[in-house]
Amino acid sequence: MTISWYLVVSSLMFVLGAVGVLIRRNPLVVLLCLELMLNAGNLALLGFARMWANGDGQIFAIVVMVVAACEVAIGLGIIVALYRQRLPVDIDELRELHG
DSSP 8-state symbol, 35: H
Q: Tell me the helices (H) and strands (E) count for the chain, helix number first.
A: 3, 0
The 10 Å Cβ neighbour count of residue 44 is: 20
Q: Does 76 bind another protein (CB under 8 A)?
A: yes
Residues near 15 by Cβ (< 8 Å), separated by ≥ 6? Answer: none
94 binds another protein (CB under 8 A): no
- Given 51, 94, 95, 97, the residue binding another protein (CB under 8 A): 51
For another protein, give the closer residue by CB, 77 or 94: 77
CB of 62 to another protein, least distance (A): 6
Is residue 34 near another protein by the rule CB under 8 A?
no
- Smallest gap, in angstroms, from Cβ of residue 7 to another protein? 5
Phi and psi angles of residue 97, each rounded to the nearest 5 degrees, phi first:
-105, -5
